[in-house]
Chains A and B, each alone.
Chain A
Amino acid sequence: MKLNLRTILIIVIMITSLSVIYQNIVVQIGLLIISIFLLLIVQPSKHKLFRILHRLKNIAKIILTLMIFQVLFRRAGEIYWQWGIIQITSVGLNYGLVSSLRFFLIIIIAGLLFDIPYYDYLLAFHKWKIPYEISFLVASVIHFIPIFAQKFQRSNEALLLRGIDLKKLPIIKRFRAYLTLLFPILAGAISQVRYRAISLELRAFRLYNERTFLYEAKLRWFDYVIQVFIFTFFLLVLITL
C-alpha cells in the first residue's frame, strides 16, 4: 500500500506520542505490534526490512544494557528480589521493560520513513502551510542523515582496507578509532553544509516569496480513511487509558 507522506507522518507522530505518554508495558507491546504490522503493509520491501533488522541488531546490545541498569538500579515500589545492594523492584522492572520496548518501537516506526525522497517532505510541509524556510531546513536535515551514514561507511571501508576491523578491536582501542573517525567526518559534514549554503546563494534562494512545485502530492481516499482512523485510535487510547 502506497500512502501519502502526510499520512505516514501522522501515523509516526501519533504512535510515537502514545509510546512516550504511557509508561505501561501492555500499551508499549500493543503499539509495537501495530508498528510491525504497519511496516509490513505500508510500502514493504526486503531492503527496508533488512535495514531495520540490521539497525535493531546493532542497537540491541545498548538497549538491553540500559534495560539491565534500569531494572537493577531504579528503586521504588515492591521489591521482587534482592541480593546485597542489588534490588529488582516493580518500578525498576516496569521502567526497564517500557524504555527498551519504546526504543525498539521508535526504530521500527521510523522505518516507515525510509527511502522517502527529500522532495516529498517539501511537498508535505508545503501542504501543511509550514513556512518554506523551515520545511527546507527540516527536509535538508532528513536528506543529510543518509549522507552522514554514507560518510561513516566510507571511513569504515578505509579502515578495512588497512586491515583494521572495528568489531575486532578491544573496546578502548575501538573507542579511540571511533573518535579518530568521527572528527574528520563531522568537520567534512560542516564544510559540506557551507558549500550547500554557497550553492543556495548562487541560485538566489528565496529571491521570490512563493515557489512552485513540479507536481502535487494529493491525498487519496484511503489516506483520508487512515488519517481518520489513526486520529480516532489516538483519542480513544487517550480517553480510555
Chain B
Amino acid sequence: MKIYNIQNLSFSYDEKCLIFENINLQLDTNKITLLNGINGSGKTTFCRLLSGLEKKYKGRISLGYRELSKLSSAEISDKIVYLKQESFANIIAATPSEDIAIWKHKFQNKISHEFEKEQLEALKEYNLEQFKDQPFWEMSGGQIKRVGLAGLLLNMDKYWILDEPVTGLENALIDILINILQKRKTEGKGALIISHRFEKFEQIVDNWLKIKDKKIIDIK
C-alpha cells in the first residue's frame, strides 16, 4: 500500500527558482526510504511538502487516497509525523514532560494516568527521565533532539518523516532509533529518512532516493 502518491510535482518558493520539477514518486507505507542529496538540493523542502507545511505546489500529492493540500493539519497528523532537522523546531513547551504531554492533550483533553506512564517510558527510552522537568534552554542540542525522538514513540502507528534524525547523537542513541525503526518495519510501519549518514541505516533501508537536478531519482 502506498502512503504517498506524487504526480507531476513542481515547486518553488518564489516562482523564479524551481526546486522540484515534474516529480513522480510513490512511497510505501511499510517500507523505509532513505533520501539524500547535496546541501540545498531541497530535502527539507520535500519533507515540508509531504507534511502539508507548503501547500502552494503544482501537481498532486496524495496522502492515502486524498489530496494533501485539502487535508487539515489534524487529518495529516493522524497519518504522519514529521521530525524537523533543527531540534528546537520540534519543541512547543518549556520542558520535555510538558512537551510530550501536548502530543496527547492537544490543549483539548485531559491526560490519563496511563498516558503519564507511556510518557515516562518514551523519555526513558532516550535516557531523558532525569531531565523531564528541566527547561529546554538549559539543555544541550543533542538532549533536545532526543526529546523530539521520544515524541515519535507516542506515534508508533503513523508513517515517520525524519529529517536528519541522527545529527548530534551518540552511537548508542542512533542504535536505539535504528532498533525502533527495525521493529516498526516488522509491524508494517515505514518511514522516510533524510540523512547523510547512510551507513547507519544501510541494514534497514528498502529504497534509496537522491535529489539531483530538481528530480528525485531511485538509486538502488
**A residues whose Cβ falls under 8 Å from a Cβ of B:** 154-155, 157-165, 169, 173-174, 176-177, 180-181, 183-184, 187-188, 190-191
Contacts and interface: CB of A to CB of B under 8 A. Distances in A.
B92 interface: yes
Which 9 pairs of residues, A with B, have the shortest CB-CB distance?
A163-B77, A163-B74, A160-B73, A173-B107, A191-B137, A177-B107, A187-B137, A184-B94, A164-B106
Nearest to A190: B137
B5 interface: no
A54 to B, nearest CB: 15
Contact of B53 (A160, A165, A174, A181): A160
| A163, A181, A183, A188 interface centre (most CB from chain B within 10 Å) | A163
B171 interface: no
Contacts of B106: 162-164
Contact of B51 (A155, A161, A187): A161
A162 B106 CA distance: 8
B98 interface: yes
A73 to B, nearest CB: 32
| B51, B92, B93 interface centre (most CB from chain A within 10 Å) | B92
Interface residues of B, number: 29
B133 interface: no
Interface string B95-111: 00010001100111000
Chain A contact residues, majority secondary structure: helix
Nearest to B73: A160
A169 B107 contact: yes
A161 to B, nearest CB: 5
A162 B103 contact: yes
A29 B103 CA distance: 48
Given A162-B103, A163-B77, 14 more contacts: A154-B88, A154-B89, A158-B91, A159-B92, A161-B51, A161-B53, A161-B81, A162-B106, A165-B72, A177-B107, A184-B94, A184-B135, A187-B94, A187-B136
A180 B137 contact: no
B15 to A, nearest CB: 10
| A160, A161, A190 interface centre (most CB from chain B within 10 Å) | A161
Contact of B89 (A157, A163, A180): A157
A80 to B, nearest CB: 43
Contacts of A191: 137
Nearest to B104: A162
A183 B91 CA distance: 12
A188 B94 CA distance: 10
Contacts of B7: none
B102 A180 contact: yes
Interface string B108-122: 100000000000000
